[in-house]
Amino acid sequence: MGSEVARLAKPKRVQHRINISPRMQMWLDGKLSSEDFDDDEVTRMQLKDKNGHFSGRPTKNIPRELAIAFRSQQQIRLMAWFAETVPEAQKAYREILNSRHLQPGDAARLRAAEGIFERVIGKVNAASEVHVTVDKGKSYDDVLEGVLVDVEEEEDD
């Protein structure tokens, strides 16, 4: 008995069955685009099941292409929302500028309107860069004449 080798039973291989939702399969097959995702799916970065609900916990790993599609849709939809709110921001900005007395919260409304403008139109430059090359023998006044423009002369043109 001591010379016999103990035989251990081989562990059985467990087959993992991946359950793919119909919407995920449609996306993998190219039948579903990121524009077809609803806002909840984009926000949760999870596709709904066949009944149109979220079931179970979101998977820990999703395909990289799907994650990129979710993120790009978030950005597209956010920028579209900002663009839609420009008329409201303009109205608030105009009301604050034309009012004789500021109301509580007007500073916050003004900052919010400016934030929307910056995201849709772009930030206003705080400063402009000017590069000047000075030739030998030129005075400071000679250099300034080339950079500065007389506003009154320009209006007459």
pLDDT value at 76 more than 90: yes
Which residues fall within 8 angstroms of residue 115, CB to CB, at 6 or more apart? none
- Separation of alpha carbons 24 and 45, rounded Å: 12
Give the pLDDT of residue 19: 67
**42 in Cβ contact with 36 (< 8 Å):** no
Domain parsing of the chain, residue ranges: 17-81, 85-123
Closest alpha carbon to 37 in 20, 23, 58: 23
Q: Which long-range contacts (CB under 8 A, 24 or more apart) does 132-141 make?
A: none
Which range is least confidently modeled, 15-19, 66-70, 84-88?
A: 15-19
- pLDDT tens digits, one per residue of 28-62: 888 988 898 989 889 888 888 888 888 777 777 88
Confidence of residue 112 (pLDDT cuts 50, 70, 90): very high
Q: Look at residue 38 and give its three-state secondary structure.
A: coil
